[in-house]
Amino acid sequence: MIEQLDRRTVLQALAGGFLLPSAASAAEIQDAVLSRDDGRLDAQPFGDLRVFLQGQTGALTSLTFGSLELKAGQTPHAPHRHPEEEIILITEGHGEIFLEGKVTKVGPGSLMYAASNRQHGIVNTSDALMTFYYFKWLGK
């Protein structure tokens, strides 16, 4: 079962806001096989954000999995830090990732890992869509 998320929750998930589960959402994320259409779509000026899973698991206090189709020349937010570790996987397009003071050009197949509280950000530097998937987690 995928939890239904409000817009504030979706934006906080992408921007790195740490979310403690409420009593109503305290159930663990269940096993699932998901398609692109299963993500909750939140169309933003910078692109189409989808959140597929968000909540706790048996081993994690918090897990968030989503994607962003980032429009040309856009960034979803300024570089930021959060307590969760994060992986970003670029599947389409080109851009730059900022990680702890270093800027790296990225394209399809590029992967970023940011440890807890590391400053990071992403920008689409091309004239086409850039699609990436992000995975964030916080251990118990």
Which runs of E-coded beta strand occur in the chain?
Answer: 40-44, 47-55, 60-70, 85-92, 95-99, 102-106, 111-114, 120-124, 130-139
Q: How many CB atoms lie within 10 A of CB 130?
A: 26
In whole angstroms, give the CA distance from residue 51 to residue 82.
Answer: 18
For 67-107, write each residue's pLDDT tens digit: 999 999 999 999 999 999 999 999 999 999 999 999 999 99
* Residue among 56, 123, 114 nearest 82 (CA): 114
pLDDT at 138: 97
pTM: 0.81
pLDDT at 42: 96
* pLDDT over 60 (residue 10): no
Q: Find where tokens 């020349």 sit.
A: 73
For 19-40, write each residue's pLDDT tens digit: 333 333 457 999 999 998 999 9
For the chain, list the domains and their CATH numbers.
7-18+36-139 (2.60.120.10)
Give me the mean pLDDT over the 49-61 stretch: 96
